[in-house]
Amino acid sequence: MAAPRGRLLPVPLAKGDTVALVSPSSAVDDTFDLQLAREVMEALGFEVRTGAHYAARRGHLAGTDAGRAGDINAMFADGEVKAVICVRGGSGAARLLPLLDYDVIRANPKVLLGYSDVTALHNAIHAQTGLVTFHGPNGSGSWNRFNADQFRRVFFDRELMQYRNVVDAGDELVQRRNRTVTITGGKARGELVGGNLTVLTAVAGSPYLPDFTGKVLFLEDVSEAPYRVDRMLSTLKLMGALDKIAGFIFGECTDCDPGDGYGSLTLEQILDDHIRPLNIPAYRGAMIGHIRQQFIVPVGGRVELDADAGSFRLLEPVFQD
């Protein structure tokens, strides 16, 4: 793991600012998604600049590694750009980590937003520079009312957010959707680290993971069989990460149902095996992950986790004064 660095806060955002769209991972399936990403940013009140290679394609990737990394470096170096928004996830961001100019990023701290494969960028940039980045919707993802409201509260109002799942019982007598489940009760404080479990464990053993000591770890994933989730949590255990954390939040594992065969451990059993013995505040079911409505959370932001309430809250501002 990388040596610990001081926390670095990004400059704040305001309507009328210029934001950049970059494609660090997979290419879009339909170039119309690029138009939608631009329209979303414009609807939020921004001028939009695009990376020189953001619409490129090489195999499943959005262009060459050098091109994709070059777009990120250029947008951090550009003094007119106030935020870097990732168009989509997929695969390939980890290939860029040795190519990023961390000195330029450190000298030009600004918002980075995205999730899923963008986990590689969040962790590498935080480990190498201390910059607080933001795990939330990609540019071409769903910008429903909830996500747009999250964006405005986090970036425009700069609210000390309270992250609590939406309460909506629908026509059920007792709410079923968006429920949180306590694994181990209690409260914990620390900086948030984490993201997509598969991407996080794929960079294990590299200098692109932050120190987990005293941190609150949040995880999510999609389309992973439970045995693979178990194996990846085993990796975090074996590398010593789980034994160092102060608290744990598991978001959604979308389409992570057991396959056919002899059977499978359930996600509940897997979390009980790996997380409950840590005896730290922990819960599952947070609105983080490959879901339509998702929290925008600061990677590196200081939070207090309340595992009994199934919520967490920001303790300090995550932007420069």
Residues 274 and 177 in one domain: yes
81 neighbors 111 (Cβ within 8 angstroms): no
Assign residue 284 the CATH number of its domain: 3.50.30.60
In-domain check, residue 321: no
Residues 171 and 49 in one domain: no
Position 178 scores a pLDDT of 87
Residues 197 and 290 in one domain: yes
In-domain check, residue 97: yes
Each residue's pLDDT tens digit in the chain (321 positions)?
A: 444 468 899 999 999 999 999 999 999 989 999 999 999 999 999 999 999 998 999 999 999 999 999 999 999 999 999 999 999 999 999 999 999 999 999 999 999 999 999 999 999 999 999 999 999 999 999 999 999 999 999 999 999 999 999 988 788 888 888 899 999 999 999 999 999 999 999 999 999 999 999 999 999 999 999 999 999 999 999 999 999 999 999 999 999 988 776 678 999 999 999 999 999 999 999 999 999 999 999 999 999 999 999 999 999 999 998
Residues 244 and 173 in one domain: yes
321/315 Cα distance (integer angstroms):
15
CA 54 and chain centroid, separation: 20
The domain tally of the chain equals 2
H helices of the chain, where? 32-43, 65-77, 102-107, 119-129, 145-151, 197-202, 226-238, 267-274
226/110 Cα distance (integer angstroms):
36
In-domain check, residue 2: no
In-domain check, residue 203: yes
φ/ψ region of 67 (left if φ > 0, alpha if ψ in -120 to 50, else beta) reads alpha
The pTM of the full predicted model, rounded to 2 decimals, is: 0.96
Residues 142 and 29 in one domain: yes
Position 5 scores a pLDDT of 60
Position 233 scores a pLDDT of 98
In-domain check, residue 103: yes
Position 3 scores a pLDDT of 41
Assign residue 88 the CATH number of its domain: 3.40.50.10740
Residues 125 and 226 in one domain: no
- On the 0-12 / 13-18 / 19+ scale of CB atoms within 10 A, 154 is buried
Position 171 scores a pLDDT of 83
**Domain stop point among 134, 156, 178:** 156
Residues 217 and 270 in one domain: yes
In-domain check, residue 3: no
Residues 306 and 172 in one domain: yes
Question: Is residue 285 classed as helix, strand or coil in its secondary structure?
Answer: coil
Residues 146 and 171 in one domain: no
Domain of 275, in residue numbers: 165-314
Active site residue ranges: 116, 220, 290
Position 261 scores a pLDDT of 65
Backbone angles phi and psi of 86, in degrees to 5: -85, 130
In-domain check, residue 22: yes
Residues 169 and 306 in one domain: yes
In the 8-state DSSP scheme, what is residue 107?
Answer: H
Residues 96 and 178 in one domain: no
**Domain stop point among 156, 186, 212:** 156
Position 168 scores a pLDDT of 83
In-domain check, residue 11: no
**Domain stop point among 126, 156, 186:** 156
Residues 173 and 290 in one domain: yes
